[in-house]
Structure 1
Amino acid sequence: MPSHSRSRQRSVPSPTRRRRTRLTEVTEQALGLQPAEAGLLAHVLVGRALQSAEVDAVIIKGPTLASRGLRAERLSHDVDVLVRPRQVSTALQVMQDLGWELEAPAGSRRRSISGHVGATLGHRLWPLQIDVHESFPGFCFDNDVVFDELWHRREAVVIAGVEVVSVDRPTSAAIGALHALRDIAVQGPAYSDLVSHARHVMSAEELEQLSTLARVTGAQLPLAPFLRDLGLPVHLTGEDHEISRAWRVRQAVGGRRSATWVYALLDAPPRSWLSIVGEALAVTPADVRTPDGSESPRGLRLGQLRRIGRGLLALPMAVWAVARAMKRRR
């Protein structure tokens, strides 16, 4: 009987533990946000937090495009913020201090073809992610040079009634176009919609600023379709083709994940191959999570395994696609 009593006592949580569990449940119930609510508020949170920490950062894509009249209002599933390269670690620490957790680390070779986010952050109470960029695909000049230019073009936008630092309309249009064109050789609906809005809202002066931006950031070739569709002249040089080689290869292979890693291997010295392969196989929860974050831990693990399996099956075709793309674009 005493033994049975001790067993029962061990199975009953202590009052302190019960209170802690209840507080967690209350917190999640009180602060948990639906995607429609979280999108705008998260942009404000990131913008204001980094501004308060004196981190040079601009909110890009998402609702900033809508605020510039470059797309209709719609749900944003993540927050994109471009940070001065030398301040990326500070930006990550600021967000981690607010409870955000690192899901994909900075310095990853996932940016191997034409740049990628510096890191991805997630939070158990927010059904979205924060992508912290230290560069942006399609701006082919040095990251510091590009950021200096974009920082010079910064402007405040109002999101959810609050001002945050973003970029001007020409820069926002360029970023939107690069995002729409990054993985495809054929224009898609998002790109066509952007062109239509840009034609309607951009002044002659803003179009000239867009053309200048493309030239001073090394984005003449990546933005060439967009510039031409807006009636702007495009004069490409041999240098434009050379600095944009990675971008052109990525477009040719359609942004296939396996092809991205094959290109990274071919473009790197042999001493880096092992680390590249390791990164390629290190599929993170952020890579397979849906926007609402509804998967169970087991579901995330199965998603990671399936993602790796699909990549391995696609490897032979990826090798062929990259080899052909590189040959065509020399």
Structure 2
Amino acid sequence: MATTTLHQQEAVLLAHALVARLADDAGARILFIKGPTAVALGVRPDRPSTDVDVLADRGGFDALCAALEGCGWQRRNTGTGLRRAADLAFEHSAHFIHPEWPCDLDVHYSFPGFLASEAEVFEALWASHTTVEIAGRAVPSPSASGQALVVALHALRDPDKATSQQDLGHLATALGHLDEGQKHDLVELALAAGAADTARPLLLSAGADLPAPADSRLLHSWELRQRYAEAAGSLWIEQLSRATWRERPGVLMRAAVPRREELLSSHLVDSASRKDVAVLHLRRWRHGIATLPRSMSVVRELRRSFRG
């Protein structure tokens, strides 16, 4: 019997329709972010997506995740293992894969860069949300302004990446055509969701009128987390410094030799032999050693910032 395999872009579009149907059945409010919905609203360049990103109202998050698992989607263990430095890790979603679907699902309960509470962020985006037709189904999406903030914050997490620069350039052009009323609405949404300071570079480039930046630990964490893209070891160094003396041996062991499921999840590997696991550990150690000087520098900067 012949079998048919979905192409990745087909899977991405169909998965939007699937998740929307499951959310409706579960009574969960969701908003699709980034990807095809952002492209349709003109705030992201038209390029292929490899996964589906959806922001769920916290009240419906567990129900949606359970519905996905009921359809054969498997939740990946993507926890960082950080506890004392978790405020810097920005854990924010559950990651799902399916053996017959060549795309991933990221179900977010929050989105890094929005500094308001999870409920405030979702309600602010929901209040002006729209729908976009994907795979023959109208799916919920933030407004163009909301999607612009999401795309901007995602790009600003690692602004030196080529795709981040493409997205920020595209956004600057798109927002440059806003009239004063639209700029005002964009700023109001950014303020309500706690993104006025984190998305400040983009908003200023669009000619938005912003209040003076706030001085908060959350904002400092965001600004420093932007520097972690090439210095991920700094998170573990900070975790170690915050741990008690009794906790430190365990922290060192967890950092150097993470549990098998954590290691495989971080490399998006389903299964591996002992040799494969050893190779992944070796690759991780080499990267950690190579970035150690940068990691130490980031930690020193973090401490100076928080002391100030």
TM-score, reference length from structure 1? 0.78
* Identity in percent: 28
Equivalent of 1:232 in 208, 233, 240: 208
Q: Does 1:219 align with 2:219?
A: no
Q: Does 1:278 align with 2:251?
A: no
Matching residue's letter, 1:285:
L
TM-score, reference length from structure 2? 0.83
Equivalent of 2:300 in 316, 319, 323: 323
Question: Aligned ranges for residues 1-330 of structure 1 at < 5 Å?
Answer: 29-30=3-4, 32-104=5-77, 109=82, 112-113=87-88, 115-184=90-159, 188-200=165-177, 202-239=178-215, 241-254=216-229, 256-266=231-241, 274=250, 278=254, 281-282=258-259, 283-289=262-268, 297-298=272-273, 301=277, 304-313=280-289, 314-328=291-305, 330=308
d(CA) in 2 for partners of 1:105, 1:196: 35
d(CA) in 1 for partners of 2:279, 2:138: 38
User: How big is each residue's C-alpha offset from its partner over 1:216-255, in whole Å with a ceiling of 9 and x where there is no partner?
Assistant: 222121111011010112222444x443111011123446
In structure 2, relative to structure 1, the CA distance for the partners of 1:117 and 1:230 (3 Å cut) is same
Point out where structure 2 has 5 or more consecutive residues left out of the alignment.
none
Matching residue's letter, 1:198:
L
In structure 2, relative to structure 1, the CA distance for the partners of 1:288 and 1:303 (3 Å cut) is farther
Shift, 1:134, TM fit:
1.0
User: How big is each residue's C-alpha offset from its partner over 1:290-319, in whole Å with a ceiling of 9 and x where there is no partner?
Assistant: xxx8x8744974664245324532345312
Q: How many residues align?
A: 297
Shift, 1:288, TM fit:
1.9
Question: Could you tell me whether the CA contact under 8 Å between 2:34 and 2:151 is conserved in 1?
Answer: yes
Matching residue's letter, 1:229:
S
Matching residue's letter, 2:36:
P
User: How big is each residue's C-alpha offset from its partner over 1:113-132, in whole Å with a ceiling of 9 and x where there is no partner?
Assistant: 26233211100011111111
Question: Could you tell me whether the CA contact under 8 Å between 1:182 and 1:255 is conserved in 2?
Answer: no
Coordinate RMSD, CA, aligned: 3.1
In structure 2, relative to structure 1, the CA distance for the partners of 1:143 and 1:48 (3 Å cut) is same
Matching residue's letter, 1:182:
R
Question: Could you tell me whether the CA contact under 8 Å between 2:80 and 2:89 is conserved in 1?
Answer: no
Larger Cα Rg: Structure 1 or Structure 2?
1
Say which SS state the counterpart of residue 236 (structure 1) adopts: coil
Matching residue's letter, 2:264:
P
User: How big is each residue's C-alpha offset from its partner over 1:129-157, in whole Å with a ceiling of 9 and x where there is no partner?
Assistant: 11111111111122122122222222211
d(CA) in 2 for partners of 1:47, 1:154: 15
Shift, 1:112, TM fit:
4.0
Matching residue's letter, 2:59:
R
Say which SS state the counterpart of residue 244 (structure 1) adopts: helix
Shift, 1:37, TM fit:
1.6
Tell me the residue number matched to 1:7.
none
Shift, 1:67, TM fit:
0.9
Question: Could you tell me whether the CA contact under 8 Å between 1:39 and 1:75 is conserved in 2?
Answer: no
d(CA) in 2 for partners of 1:270, 1:163: 54
Matching residue's letter, 1:218:
G
Question: Could you tell me whether the CA contact under 8 Å between 1:43 and 1:159 is conserved in 2?
Answer: yes
d(CA) in 2 for partners of 1:152, 1:113: 29
d(CA) in 2 for partners of 1:236, 1:208: 16
Shift, 1:160, TM fit:
2.2
Say which SS state the counterpart of residue 80 (structure 1) adopts: strand
Shift, 1:100, TM fit:
0.2
Point out where structure 1 has 5 or more consecutive residues left out of the alignment.
1-21
Question: Could you tell me whether the CA contact under 8 Å between 1:36 and 1:75 is conserved in 2?
Answer: yes
Shift, 1:276, TM fit:
9.4
Say which SS state the counterpart of residue 113 (structure 1) adopts: helix
Shift, 1:165, TM fit:
1.1
